[in-house]
Amino acid sequence: MNPKNTLRTLAFASISIVATASISQTTHGQMEFMAEAMHPEFFSRDLVLFADGLNLDDTQEVIVEAMFDSYNDDFESGWAATTQRLNDVADELKLNKPDNERDTLKPVLETLGAWLEEKRLLDQGLLENVKTILVAEQLELWPSFSQRLYREKHINRGRLSGESTDLYLIARDTDLSGTAESIITPQLEEYAVALDIAMRKRDAILQGNPKKLFDNILNDNNGRSPELVEAEVKSRINVRDINDRYIEVISSSLSDQDGEDFRLRALNRGYPRIFRRTPAQRILRQAAENDAYEPEIHALIIQLETAYLSELLVLNYDLLTLTRRHDPKVHKNRALAGQIRKNGGTPEKLTDPTRAIYKDREAVGRRYIEMLRDILSPDAFLELEGARRWVPRDEQPYGELSKPNRVPVGPDGGLSIKGGSGKSGKGKGGRSKPNPAALTRPKGNSGTGNNGGR
């Protein structure tokens, strides 16, 4: 019998049984870590992380590489033995089919549970072996290295917006000067400690006790209590809030330009739907960077872009506030939905409060693009990348590039936000700018066009 086919058949059988048992979505979330049973925790590529994080010398690198090889051999041997035990279980189940699902699944879960404990000991053993070859100065680096190792391997377990952001990666991508890096080092170290504690607490709740989880499956007790779901959601919120808090702490320690760059990169990484560049941002920036226009036209485009970014700032702040409030409710609702249906109830249908704001933002963008059309000639507008989508086909001219000739002005001679052709009064405007938290308040000149996600 082909071991791979046997194991595959056994896996499908187990999944069918689990599905039949109507396990809740959150329990499925707990079962995600079962997939990790088939893969080692550490790979040869992690050697770079060990060497960098612990300042290993050449001799130590060779020793650690040998430890990795031994660890990998032990893992492969252990998983092969587990696979054989699972295949034996499958053969036995095929010969003597149990009378109920519990007796079918019990030997499978017991085998997997034993391997998970064996794998945990292998993982811990590798780390302990590495520590034995470190000198005193390197041992002092171990706490920060351990935090980095755990962060990089488990940061992607986030489910809420902003939960999976790694500010160390943001700092790396921001291309800071050596002086700036030294300035924010203490804040990053504080962040690493706080995030490590929060992530480990979250993951402990997510994984729970494998033995208890298996017992619950066997006893058809697949629901999670609302209290446990609430604890999970709160642990996720805590991770997210640490990220958001230190985005502000770190960006406030930098210069205006570096701080804005760091903040926007981090927000775009954590909340991409909100902070990625809008179509209006892209087309306005294109026009602002075009030095072929006459000075008067160029000045009006900059004025238009500045006004748009000011309105966009308000809308994005509203979206961030609502998203941070609504995301946990969605996660909690999904986690409990299966159990509610199993008990004969109907899960609450949540209304997304951000939908109306996104529509407002889209309308504002269209309004400013219409004003840009008023400033430029039809041909000049169509020269901008992506501009044709904003012009009806029957209005798209074909011919020589004509000179910009429509400049909407207001009573004071400045740019008219209402537009000069009557087309630009669409959308909602006139919203007063609040004093949002520094987390979303850009620094420096908002007319630079760098207010969008990168």
Q: For 417-439, how does the pLDDT look when each residue is reduced to its tens digit (9 = 90+)?
A: 554 444 444 444 444 444 434 34
Domain with 363, as residue range(s), is 276-448
Q: Give whole-number Cα distances, 58 to 61, 324, 451, in Å.
A: 5, 47, 45
Q: State residue 343's pLDDT score.
A: 78
Summarize the confidence of residues 313-327 as an average pLDDT.
Answer: 97
> What are the residue ranges of helices labelled H in 208-353?
210-218, 226-253, 256-270, 272-275, 279-288, 295-342
Asked, for residue 454, whether it belongs to a domain, the answer is: no
223 and 299 both lie in a single domain: no
Quick check: 394 pLDDT over 90?
A: no
Q: What is the pLDDT of residue 412?
A: 61
Residue 94 contacts by C-beta under 8 Å, 6 or more apart in sequence? none
Does one domain contain both 406 and 284? yes
Q: Is 143 in the same domain as 130?
A: no
**393 within domain boundaries:** yes
Q: Indicate if 16 and 27 belong to the same structural domain.
A: yes
152 occurs within a structural domain: yes
Q: Of 270, 304, 322, which one is at a domain's C-terminal end? A: 270
For the chain, give the number of residues: 454
Asked, for residue 63, whether it belongs to a domain, the answer is yes
pLDDT of 351 reads 95
Tell me the pLDDT of the chain averaged across its residues.
82
In a domain, 369, yes or no: yes
- Domain shared by 84 and 149, yes or no: no
Confidence band of 70 (pLDDT split at 50, 70, 90): very high
Last residue of a domain, one of 213, 244, 270: 270
Please tell me whether residues 338 and 399 are part of one structural domain. Answer: yes
Task: Specify whether 280 is located in the same domain as 406.
Answer: yes
Same domain, 182 and 228: yes
Same domain? For 255 and 283 the reply is no
Phi, psi of 430 (to 5 degrees): 70, 15
Q: What is the pLDDT of residues 89-119, one digit of tens each?
A: 888 888 888 877 777 778 888 888 888 889 9
Within a domain: residue 61? Answer: yes
Q: 108 and 203: one domain?
A: no
Tell me the average pLDDT across 355-360.
97
Q: Shortest CA distance to 367 belongs to which of 417, 319, 317?
A: 417
Residue 35, phi-psi category: left (phi > 0), alpha (psi -120 to 50), beta (remainder): alpha
Model pTM score: 0.79
Question: Do residue 116 and residue 234 come from a single domain?
Answer: no
Encode pLDDT of 438-447 as tens digits.
344 444 444 3
Least confident stretch, 20-34, 335-349, 390-404: 20-34
Residue partners of 278: CB distance under 8 A and separation at least 6: 312, 361, 365, 452
**What pLDDT, on the 0 to 100 scale, is given for residue 89?**
86
In a domain, 236, yes or no: yes
Note the pLDDT of residue 231: 94
Residue 453 lies in a domain: no
Stretch 320-335: mean pLDDT: 95
Q: How many structural domains compose the chain? A: 3
pLDDT above 50: residue 225: yes
- With a cut of 70, say whether residue 302 has pLDDT above it: yes
CATH code, domain carrying 231 = 1.20.120
Tokens read off for 393: 């086909």
**Per-residue pLDDT averaged across 11-22, rounded?**
43
Same domain, 322 and 400: yes
Question: Mean pLDDT over residues 258-287, rounded?
Answer: 96
Among the three residues 237, 270, 303, which one is the final residue of a domain in this structure? 270
CA atoms of 2 and 407, how far apart (whole Å) = 76
